[in-house]
Amino acid sequence: MFEQKVFPMEPQAKSVLIEDNSYYYQVKWDGIRLLAFGEDTKTRLQGRSLKDKTGLYPELAVLPELVKGKSFILDGELVALKEKRPSFYTVMQRERASSSNISRLVKLLPVDYMVFDILFLDGTWLLNKPWEVRQEILKKNIIENESLHLTPNYKDGRGLLQAVRELGMEGIVAKKIGSPYIPGPRKSSYWLKTKVEQTLEAYVGGLTLKDSRPASLLLGLDEDGSVEMPGLEKRLRYIGSASSGLKEKELEDWYRWSRENSLSVSPFINPPSSLPGRKLLWMEPLRKVKIIYNEWTPDLKLRAPRLVPS
């Protein structure tokens, strides 16, 4: 069991929330999917793609002390909090850490393991047990601490969706009462995810020009825990460009600002090398804008970003 590879169960996407008494609802955490395998005092962590992640998160080595069993497999989401809410960008900084940085980032960027299912316990596979039975097994056998938490279950799906929307979180998942655990990668209709639009504040570190006219803003976030660049107050990670939501006059104002606060070098640690048909101008990242977006791409860029009118 300990060395076995298991694909996590995957939910189907639903643009409209399903409201039905045969479902319970959970928060959809904006993090990294993680299966935790335990045997005696050993822990192994596996990602969605079956990649081993044990060395990245040494704080979870204590899991065997927190599970009332000699062997187990847990399913959950690894999250990192920024401004008291889960931040996919922040947890990805942990995910991409080099081996030399892990011990420093454990303190600087702590993670929480939000457990929502159990697949195996003390020599017995639980995949065919009804969802609610697995939930009871979880509650009876997990000891929560500062890094390990059980994901709560709610009957009011509409109320939970509204709450996560107000908190700027990713969405919720509806889980069918009586359903088994079906390992992926094929998505299961027993679990249904509904996402909400999310927001963040990003620094503007540059501008694109098209035919000598301002076209879009280049956006970045603080790179937590990194060494600052000489001559610059902030070290930014480029997360994409946006023009949707900006009026022509606002773009002209940004162009004027960029000339008054221009930089000869990029403020981004990963600047876009080029954008087709566009000229790139760098500027001091002194101002922020509020962005609405759908989700993050695998390479940590915003998908379909648009600016919130100021």
pLDDT tens across 252-262, in order? Answer: 999 999 999 99
Question: Domain check: are 129 and 268 in the same one?
Answer: no
Question: Domain check: are 191 and 206 in the same one?
Answer: no
Question: Domain check: are 208 and 276 in the same one?
Answer: yes
pLDDT of residue 37: 97
Question: Domain check: are 39 and 74 in the same one?
Answer: yes
Last residue of a domain, one of 180, 196, 212: 196
Question: Domain check: are 180 and 234 in the same one?
Answer: no
142-167 mean pLDDT: 94
CATH number at residue 147: 3.30.470.30
Q: Which domain holds residue 63?
A: 10-196
Cα-based distances in Å from 24 to 120, 156, 183, 205, 257: 22, 8, 20, 43, 50
Last residue of a domain, one of 175, 196, 217: 196
pLDDT of residue 211: 86
Question: Domain check: are 92 and 238 in the same one?
Answer: no
Last residue of a domain, one of 166, 196, 226: 196
Of the two residues 96 and 191, the one the predictor is more confident about is 191
Instruction: Confirm whether 61 is domain-assigned.
Output: yes
Instruction: Confirm whether 157 is domain-assigned.
Output: yes
Instruction: Confirm whether 295 is domain-assigned.
Output: yes
Domain count, the chain: 2
Mean of the per-residue pLDDT values of the chain: 90
Question: Domain check: are 279 and 205 in the same one?
Answer: yes
> Per residue in 243-297, pLDDT tens?
888 888 899 999 999 999 999 999 998 888 777 778 899 999 999 999 988 788 8
> Per residue in 216-227, pLDDT tens?
999 999 875 443
Lowest mean pLDDT of 4-8, 82-86, 144-148, 302-306, name the range.
Answer: 82-86
26-31 mean pLDDT: 94
Instruction: Confirm whether 5 is domain-assigned.
Output: no
Question: Domain check: are 164 and 219 in the same one?
Answer: no
Instruction: Confirm whether 218 is domain-assigned.
Output: yes
Residue 173 has pLDDT above 90, yes or no: yes
Q: From CA 38, how far away is CA 255, in angstroms rounded?
A: 56
Residue 170 has pLDDT above 80, yes or no: yes
pLDDT band at 233 (very low <50, low <70, confident <90, very high): low
Residue 239 has pLDDT above 60, yes or no: yes
Instruction: Confirm whether 287 is domain-assigned.
Output: yes
Instruction: Confirm whether 227 is domain-assigned.
Output: yes
pLDDT of residue 272: 86
Share of the chain above pLDDT 70, in %: 96
pLDDT of residue 234: 61
Instruction: Confirm whether 2 is domain-assigned.
Output: no
Question: Domain check: are 177 and 233 in the same one?
Answer: no
